[in-house]
Amino acid sequence: MIIVEFLGPIHKPDLELEISNLNELAKVLQEDAEVSEWLESCAVAVNNDLVCTLDTPLKNGDKVSLLPPVCGG
């Protein structure tokens, strides 16, 4: 089971999904009307490390975070 969390202003409860890589997550979220509009501007972290490829493998217990545009300070 993979936990997907949506940070900051997205305001969506965590999802628990049976997926094995980010490509599968992309498919699921592109069909989710609540988050699809955020995908273009979101960075992705797996277990708190930012990732840059959809081929990133996922294993049971991994946490995927979606980070919308930031503005600290």
Q: Which residues bind other proteins (CB under 8 A)?
A: 7-9, 22-23, 25-27, 29-30, 39-45, 48-54, 65-73
Locate 67 and state its tokens.
């980070």
Nearest to 10 by CA among 61, 59, 44, 47: 44
Least distance CB 41 / other proteins (angstroms): 5
Nearest to 20 by CA among 47, 53, 49, 60: 60
CB of 69 to other proteins, least distance (A): 4
Rank residues 18 and 55 by Cβ distance to other proteins and give the closer one: 55
